[in-house]
A and B are shown apart, each in its own frame.
Chain A
Amino acid sequence: MAKYLLLKHYRGAPAAVNDVPMDRWTPEEISAHMRYMNDFAARLEGSGEFVSGQALAQEGAWVRYDGEGRPPVTDGPFAETKDLIAGWMIIDVDSYERAVELAGELSAAPGAGGEPIHEWLELRPFLTEPPTITE
């Protein structure tokens, strides 16, 4: 088993096929989308492939050390142009192929018109500890 991080982006990812901002969906479409995401997580829990998931707030700030005795630099909570991560899900699966398959399934969550969004999700394997036993 290997762990992978699935990253969902608010902005910064290549445009989705069904690219309509969420506040232009109907409330029913939003509910259907949320249901799909929750069902997906529940199904992975059932298959023993779910590790954790978390949604992130849309606004954040860049922070940088600015030298001894000075407060850290921030650019304020202005996030117009940054690559914004909306949330993540961590899965623990048997193969890279399975991880790609699941990411594809998540990307098919319904959006406007109940059609799949085809959004781009970022898939990143976790670095692991070296194995205790090498044969």
Chain B
Amino acid sequence: MDEALLRSLSPSVLTVLVRRGAGFAAAEDAVQDALVEAVRVWPAGVPRDPKGWLVTVAWRRFLDATRADAARRRREDRVEEEPVPGPASGVDDTLQLYFLCAHPSLTPASAVALTLRAVGGLTTRQIAEAYLVPEATMAQRISRAKRTVSGVRFDRAGDVSTVLRVLYLVFNEGYSGNVDLAAEAIRLTRQLAGVIDHPEVAGLLALMLLHHARRAARTAPDGSLVPLAEQDRSLWDTELITDGVEILQAALARDRLGEFQAQAAVAALHADARAAEETDWVQVVEWYDELARLTGSPVVRLNRAVAVGEADGPRAGLAALSELDDSLPRHTAVAAYLHERDGDLAKAARLYSEAARKATDLAERDHLTRQAARLNAGRQG
């Protein structure tokens, strides 16, 4: 039984049903029934048109369910409208499903869960495991999300940037248990890039590939964090990097810059340096300037201050940092790093300790505590 095939078909089957007028929640139930049926029947022989088969079975299930509980007149209307069963259209209309799952009426957490369920075809259990919550909790979250979008019609094009944000959230969740959410996000973004021609979709895909390429080098065997400058670059996945850079270059050539392309450009400059010292920091700063212009985000300006510190020296970095609100996440950690490079080790050690206290991530907290310890040990010894 080809589980990957079923997973790749289920979103477009779902889209067909919703297009034909089924409510999202009812359509989803019907598709699940059809998948279960496929698992039962297909081992004896996969149908020639698997998608058409699934659409037909799911639509019948939907009608059965509707007949069972809907008012008589609505039921008859639907039966009248029933399309002739047969091969489904070859056009991949998964795109609308992406927009639906990223609908602005959903919270980011719900949008992520629904996307993984409906577009990714993951089971509720798999999503729950990835988020370390009980399956019942995740089931509730997903059905609430389905209810929220059940009245939404498919006739208006959504906002691509919302879809991309949701996919980026999935990517940033990383992985745990059996589901690798970063890899899943890449798969979905690749799929999206296949159905929509948009430079920012390519930009996000490139960004994910370039980040993902560094994954093996990002943590030491004991689980501790390895900063970019200290990573063993031979562990970087050169194939993913090449892939990412090519996608990015094609996107940039279209001259419709967006924040994901700019972020990917920064990642590409890091990927391009064989050693940390060879990083083209001047160009990195230029891309952060672009990003700041595109987003106005204070986090971008914080990253820019780090890049300025590398390009023009720690004093320049600290000057850039002084323009920012010191309540920003990681502000203290950046200040500690720049003060260390400037030679003020006592101040740097104090700031690293303070940053460790504020950290919300275990690996990051331990890393910052180690930095403080390293400087304190050095000063005592």
Chain A residues near B (Cβ < 8 Å):
22-27, 29-31, 34-35, 38, 55, 57-59
Given contacts A23-B369, A27-B370, 11 further A-B pairs with CB under 8 A are A22-B369, A23-B353, A23-B372, A27-B373, A30-B369, A31-B222, A35-B222, A38-B223, A55-B365, A57-B360, A58-B357
| B224: Cβ under 8 A from any A Cβ | yes
- Cβ distance B325 to chain A, nearest Cβ, rounded Å: 16
Q: Chain B residues near A58: list those with CB within 8 A.
A: 356-358
Interface centre among A23, A25, A30, A34 (most CB of B within 10 A): A23
Residues of B within 8 A of A59 (CB): 357-358
Q: Is the pair B373, A34 in contact by a Cβ cutoff of 8 Å?
A: no
- Among residues of B, the one whose C-beta sits closest to the C-beta of A55 is B362
Chain B, range 360-381, C-beta contacts under 8 Å to A? 360, 362, 365-366, 369-370, 372-374, 376-377, 380
B352 part of interface (Cβ distance < 8 Å): yes
| A25 close to B362 (CB less than 8 A) | no
Q: Are A30 and B366 in contact (CB under 8 A)?
A: yes
Chain A hits for B101, CB < 8 A: none
Is B257 at the interface (CB under 8 A from chain A)?
no
Instruction: Give B381's nearest chain A residue, CB to CB.
Output: A26
A selection of 9 A-B contacts at a CB cut-off of 8 Å is A22-B369, A23-B353, A24-B376, A25-B377, A26-B377, A27-B370, A31-B222, A34-B366, A55-B365
B353 contacts which chain A residues (CB < 8 A)? 23
Decide if A27 touches B377 in the complex (CB within 8 Å). Answer: yes
Q: Which of B21-51 contact A (CB under 8 A)?
A: none
A25 to B376, CA, bound (A): 8
A26 touches B358 (CB 8 A): no
Max chain B CB contacts within 10 Å: which of A27, A31, A34, A58? A27
**Among A22, A27, A34, A38, which residue has its beta carbon within 8 angstroms of that of B374?**
A27
Closest chain A residue, CB of each to CB of B376? A24
- Once bound together, how far apart are the Cα atoms of A128 and B374, in whole Å? 45
CA distance A38 to B366 in the complex (A): 13
Interface residues of B (CB under 8 A from A): 222-224, 349, 352-353, 356-360, 362, 365-366, 369-370, 372-374, 376-377, 380
Whole-angstrom distance between the Cβ of B319 and the nearest chain A Cβ: 27
Contacts of A30 in B (CB 8 A): 366, 369-370, 373
Across the interface, name the chain B residue whose C-beta is closest to A79. Answer: B357
Name the B residues within 8 Å of A31 (CB-CB).
222, 224, 370
CB-CB under 8 A from A35, the residues of chain B are: 222
Q: Which 5 A-B pairs have the closest CB atoms?
A: A23-B372, A27-B370, A23-B353, A26-B377, A58-B357
From residue B212, how far is it (CB to closest CB) to chain A in Å?
Answer: 26
| Contact A23/B358 with A30-B366, A31-B224, A34-B222 known, Cβ cut-off 8 Å | no
CB–CB A24/B373 < 8 A: yes
Contact B349 A23 (CB under 8 A): yes
A55: which B residues are within 8 A, CB to CB?
362, 365
Q: Is the CB of B373 within 8 A of A25?
A: yes
Partner of B352, one of A23, A29, A38, A57: A23
Are A29 and B366 neighbours in the complex by a CB distance under 8 Å?
no
Contact partners of A24 in chain B: CB under 8 A: 373, 376-377, 380
List of B residues within 8 angstroms of A22 by Cβ: 369, 373
Once A23-B349, A25-B373, A26-B373 are accepted as A-B contacts, the answer to whether A57 and B356 lie under 8 Å apart by CB is no
Residues of chain B within 8 A (CB-CB) of A25 are: 373, 377
CA distance A57 to B365 in the complex (A): 9
Smallest CB-CB separation from A10: which chain B residue? B357
Q: How far is the CB of A55 from chain B (nearest CB, A)?
A: 5
Complex Cα–Cα for A55 and B360 (A): 10
Closest to B352 in A: A23
Q: Kindly state the separation between the CA atoms of A59 and B359 in the bound complex, as whole angstroms.
A: 9
Complex Cα distance, B369 from A57, in Å, reads 13
Q: How far is the CA of A29 from the CA of B373 in the complex (A)?
A: 9
Indicate if the CB atoms of A23 and B366 lie closer than 8 Å.
Answer: no
Q: Which of chain A's residues have a CB closer than 8 A to the CB of B374? A: 26-27
CA distance A26 to B224 in the complex (A): 15
- Whole-angstrom distance between the alpha carbons of A26 and B223 in the complex? 18
Chain A residues whose CB sits within 8 angstroms of the CB of B376 once the complex forms: 23-24
Q: What are the residues of chain A within 8 A of B370 when measuring CB–CB?
A: 27, 30-31
CA distance A59 to B358 in the complex (A): 7
Residue from A23, A26, A34, A38 within 8 A of B356 (CB atoms): A23
Q: How long is the Cα–Cα vector from A25 to B366 in the complex, in angstroms?
A: 12
Smallest beta-carbon distance B66→chain A, Å? 43
A34 and B372 CA atoms in complex are apart in Å by: 16
Task: Tell me which of B224, B358, B370, B374 has the highest count of chain A C-beta atoms within 10 A of its own C-beta.
Answer: B370
* Least distance between A8 CB and chain B CB atoms (Å): 13
Complex-state Cα separation, A38 to B246, whole angstroms? 41
Hey, which chain A residues are within 8 Å of B372, CB to CB?
23
A23 to B353, CA, bound (A): 7
